[in-house]
Structure 1
Amino acid sequence: MSTSPGIHVLTASFDDLPARTAYDVWRLRQQVFVVEQDCPYPDLDGRDLEATTTHVVLLDDGPDGGTVLGTLRVLDDGGWARIGRVVVAPSGRGKGLAALMMDEAMGLCEGREVRLDAQTGLTAFYAGYGFEVTGPEFDEDGIMHVPMSRAASPARP
């Protein structure tokens, strides 16, 4: 799907991710979550491999086949969808790139309740997508989060 000149969104299962793209996704998540945010945690939790997981990857159209600018994953948690591992590369922040990925993710979640755990400072961003805080703030690896949910939206005709 094209989003703007020089940038596109790839949606794929794990098995359909090109190997280099998959490597760059996990490298970006490690760079931001583990190194930059100083949160040593097991990022490779097995959920990326689930047949029902969809990876949303924002790529530039550079000469190397595309640099990963951001990524998130949409999980099937039974009766609802869960959006997680939302990350934008430091070089891409402040340019609306997270919104491009969230637009795609929300389209993938049409007709389903969607849940996520938002870093506390990003609740207004997610509220713009109809999410509401559903519980108390909690500490996850030294960063405060809140659970948020959005009711199922009707599927488009």
Structure 2
Amino acid sequence: MPSKTEVKKVIEQADLDKASAIRYEVFVIGQDCPPELEVEFDDESTHFLATVDGEPAGACRWRKTDKGYKLERFAVLEKFRGVGVGKALVNAALEALPADADYVYLHAQVQAASLYTRFGFEQSGPEFEEAGMRHYKMVKK
């Protein structure tokens, strides 16, 4: 059982490389997402890296869009699933949003939607497909 989960905002290139590698493994290899789609908007995003006992375990990002702030690319390596890494990532991303972030949303894979409801997100609109996977738009209330 892991003893220490930490999430930090990515500042150094080495941490960005670790976060990118996690996302590549989860989305491109694990879910067959096109690689060019997976890295779209990386340069304008704020990235986060989760570690468990110092080992890279998960990643996510957020970015400002014309609608508000979009949380994206929540990825947890398989061996770290079910121990709170996803929850820690969502919490860290929300805490790091700017004070003017009055509209916060995300596109949740259907199987992960329940995680986001625990943080006050509500489904907005019908199910849709993105990168070949089923999603819901969810908005923070």
Fold match (TM-score > 0.5): yes
Given candidates 60, 65, 73, the residue that maps to 1:72 is 60
Q: Which residue of 1 aligns with 2:126?
A: 136
Deviation at 1:21, TM superposition (A): 2.0
Q: 1:33 and 2:27 equivalent?
A: yes
Percent identical among aligned pairs is 28
Letter matched to residue 78 of structure 2: P
Q: Provide, for residues 80-107 of structure 1, a one-character-per-residue CA deviation record: whole Å limited to 9, x for no partner.
A: 1110000001110010110011111111
Deviation at 1:31, TM superposition (A): 1.0
Q: Which residue of 2 aligns with 1:107?
A: 95
Q: How is 1:3-152 mapped onto 2 (pairs within 5 angstroms)? A: 5-12=3-10, 16-17=11-12, 19-42=13-36, 43-45=38-40, 47-50=41-44, 53-62=45-54, 67-109=55-97, 111-151=101-141
Q: Secondary structure at the match of 2:8?
A: strand
Unaligned 5+ runs, structure 2: none
CA distance in structure 2 between the partners assigned to 1:70 and 1:77 by the alignment: 23
CA distance in structure 2 between the partners assigned to 1:122 and 1:6 by the alignment: 23
Deviation at 1:79, TM superposition (A): 5.0
State TM-score, norm by structure 1: 0.78
Greater Rg by CA: 1
Q: Superposition RMSD on alpha carbons, in Å?
A: 1.9
State TM-score, norm by structure 2: 0.86
What is the number of equivalent residue pairs in this alignment? 137
Q: Provide, for residues 106-137 of structure 1, a one-character-per-residue CA deviation record: whole Å limited to 9, x for no partner.
A: 11235522110001122221111111111111
Kept in 2, the 8 Å contact 1:41–1:141? The answer is no
Higher relative contact order, chain-length normalized (CA < 8 Å, sep 6+): 2
Unaligned 5+ runs, structure 1: 152-157
